[in-house]
Amino acid sequence: MTVVRSTLPEDARRIAGDALQSTLVDLLGLSLIGKQAHWNIVGPRFRSIHLQLDEVVDTARTYSDTVAERAAALGLPPDGRPETIATAYTLPGTKEGWQRDNEVVALMQETLETAIARLRERIGATEKADPVTQDLLIGITAELEKQRWMFDAENWPRD
């Protein structure tokens, strides 16, 4: 059942909807991974990374709302239920328990790099189908790349 009518043709709506739903899952999962690491980080760089994780979580939560509202505007009900996230989330995740600061940095680099690569695929998929959705995905990618850069800088100098 579609309650909200879309201005897009059905094929374009499906492409945009798939990109938005996958992005929603990635962002909600990223916010959970960020918080889990935030609560469990230990080590000499605790404070700076602890605060950086809050920035990632805030970014992921803000954009997840924007993504969900874009889907709703296209007449597609966004699905952010816990069971959906649990079954559909495929980005790298955190382990249980305390984590050293260098482990958290490596995890966040890997997770953000994977999320960015997936976003870039969706940017390509939505180019013709829905430039508005594509623009949203481009903005998210830019922000996640900034966050990845900040974690990458934490590993300097490299061994």
User: Binning pLDDT at 50, 70 and 90, where does residue 106 land?
Assistant: very high
Please tell me the pTM assigned to this model.
0.93
Q: Which of 6-15, 30-39, 59-68, 73-82 has the lowest mean pLDDT?
A: 6-15
128: enclosing H helix or E strand: none
Across the strands, what pairs with 42? 100
Q: Is-contact 49 109, C-beta < 8 A?
A: no
CA atoms lying within 13 Å on the CB side of residue 21: 16
Q: What is the pLDDT of residue 6?
A: 83
- Residue type, position 75, single letter: G
What digits encode the pLDDT tens for the residues 17-68? 999 999 999 999 999 999 999 999 999 999 999 999 999 999 999 999 999 9
Torsion angle of C-alpha atoms 63, 22, 139, 51, degrees rounded to 10: 50
